[in-house]
Structure 1
Amino acid sequence: MSIIEKIQPRDQLKIILKEKKTEGKKIVFTNGCFDILHVGHTRYLAEAKARGDLLVIALNSDSSVKLLKGDKRPIIPEIERAEMLANLEVVDYVTIFSEKTANETIAILKPDIYIKGGDYQIEELPEAEVVASYGGKIDLVSEIKGASTTNIIGEILKRY
């Protein structure tokens, strides 16, 4: 599959995933900004992919990242972030969403397993209710301490 085919709008991805589910594929889903790709991201995504057959990433749009992280973010534009993620072997599909949370995207795609990092608590996730509404499962994967875009930006500013 080409990189372009891996990046899909939600409505098209819904159709693709419905077909994959009828083939018996387990859909694993996560979301995030993935602004400056780092080892924390890649380890997290590899662990997420190991939980199922297809890994779908819902990527925060530029406007969504600004809502969450402030006006100075993102550093990398959404289409470039989507392309970087789509180039990773463990990633099967990427879709971009503009809301503050992934609730609407999850409600549309209904993945089997919703994955978040171990720095979260399931009961604190804004997406927990929508995942429960259709019988999905939530899994937490290992946290990679200190690996964050914010820390990388801070280190760059300190050094330069």
Structure 2
Amino acid sequence: MSLNEILENREGKTIVFTNGCFDILHKGHISYLNDAKDQGDILIVGVNSDSSVKRLKGEDRPVNKELDRQFMLENLKAVDAVAIFEEDTPYNLINSIQPDILVKGGDWKVEDIVGHDIVTAKGGIVKSLRFENGYSTTDLINKVQGRS
């Protein structure tokens, strides 16, 4: 189902939203996305565009192009829809989706999660989910490049 179809048929369903670069998928990402999906009925993932990742992570990123990252995420069992956003944060995307639950990884304080104000203003929930230690895209890149 497309994002628009999901949003048009959301009645009675709990929509969960999360976001990230998801440049090189690893076990930590999969565990996190499974946990996010467990919070509700539908999981929508916002993915930073290539230009956004480059601004946030540096000129040598992303490793995988946005459409490839979108394809990989869309083909995970936990993920119901993926939306690419151009900005550095998903604030506008969150505002248009109006999720019931907003989640980020455990390195985020709940009150600092982008979109907290949007979700809580309509009675939604914002959560910081635990990260599985030992998994990092940056660490993987450094290992492949012989820098770790």
Give the TM-score band, short-chain normalised.
over 0.9
Separation in structure 1 between the aligned mates of residue 88 and residue 48 of structure 2, nearest angstrom: 8
Which structure 2 residues correspond to residues 68-87 of structure 1 after superposition, within 5 A?
A: 68-87=56-75
SS in 2 for 1:95: strand
Matched residue, 1:20: 9
Aligned residues: 148
Runs of 5+ unmatched residues, structure 1: none
Instruction: Letter of the 1:30 partner, please give it.
Output: T
Partner of 2:23: 35
Amino acid in the other structure paired with 2:138: T
The structure where helix makes up a greater share of residues is: 1
- 1:129 corresponds to which of 117, 120, 138: 117
TM-score by length of structure 2 reads 0.93
Compared CA separation, residues 105 and 155, structure 1 to 2 (3 A): same
Q: Percent identity, please.
A: 46
1:96 is matched with which residue? 84
RMSD, matched Cα = 1.7
- 1:68-95 deviations in Å (ceiling 9; x for gaps): 1111100000000000001101110001
Over 6 Å off, 4+ runs: none
> Could you give the per-residue CA deviations for residues 1-59 of structure 1, whole angstroms, max 9, x where no partner exists?
xxxx5xx5xxxx3x42333322x111011000000000010000000001111110011
Contact in 2 for aligned 1:17/1:109 (Cα 8 Å): no
Aligned to 2:144: 156
Return the offset for 1:143. 1.1
How many angstroms apart in 2 are the aligned matches of 1:104 and 1:118? Answer: 22
Q: Give the one of 130, 134, 140 matched to 1:146.
A: 134
**Aligned with 1:71: secondary structure?**
coil
Q: Does 1:107 align with 2:95?
A: yes
Which stretches in structure 2 are left out of the alignment for 5+ residues?
Answer: none
